[in-house]
Structure 1
Amino acid sequence: MALSASGLAFAYAAFRLLALFDPVWIWLDGQWMLGWWMALISSLFHRRISARLLCLALGGCQGEVVYAMSILRMAPGYVLGSFSFLDALAISASSLLVWESIRFFSLQLEEKRPVRRTRQP
């Protein structure tokens, strides 16, 4: 868990730093892209939804600290846990929950599909 949270922290800090230094490649709202990016990374690391959400929370908090430490000279008044961080965390958690709901309902529909019996000759 610690390794995956550290990987997510690196991905979070890298996204925020790239958005800061080269904002051209952000073609949607930055918070939405960051939320989807964090949800994708946490879903690649873990299978269960509880582990994904825990990794998301831990990695997001660690990434926020890494990002704040890296821009300390440029912006000494940066607030840890700002509303933009909480927005990205809420978007990624919501994305994970919606994806898990879609997966759950598709499995339920697949179970209830009738199977046709073939006649034995």
Structure 2
Amino acid sequence: MKFQGRSTTKRTGGRRRPIRKKRKHQLGSSPTETRVDDTKLKVVETRGANEKVRAMSTNVASVATADGVVSADIEGVTRNDANPNYVRRNIVTKGAVIDTSAGTARVTSRPGQDGQVNAVLVDEE
């Protein structure tokens, strides 16, 4: 299913006018941009009477190590491929590399969607 909308030009090159505006369930939302700070969660209603927990800010991560899963404090963001500006602003997204009390780790969860930060230790070479 495509919700971005159909093409505004016809095959012939003519203009195609929109049938209607987007419906409520087709609208997107702005990114959460989870910051490194005291934990603050926000519950958002989603389609089908379900809920999502958004992490507005957090300072705790569940880090998977060779021995098991350890709860570690987040000290800062060292790399974020999603946006280089996120490193300066300490914003955690999926794939971000964070400094924790357990060591350097890569985020595997989506904090803006899940409400928690899960990470895996990264081998420093």
TM-score band, normalised by shorter chain = under 0.3
TM-score (ref. length: structure 1): 0.19
TM-score (ref. length: structure 2): 0.19
Larger fraction in strand: 2
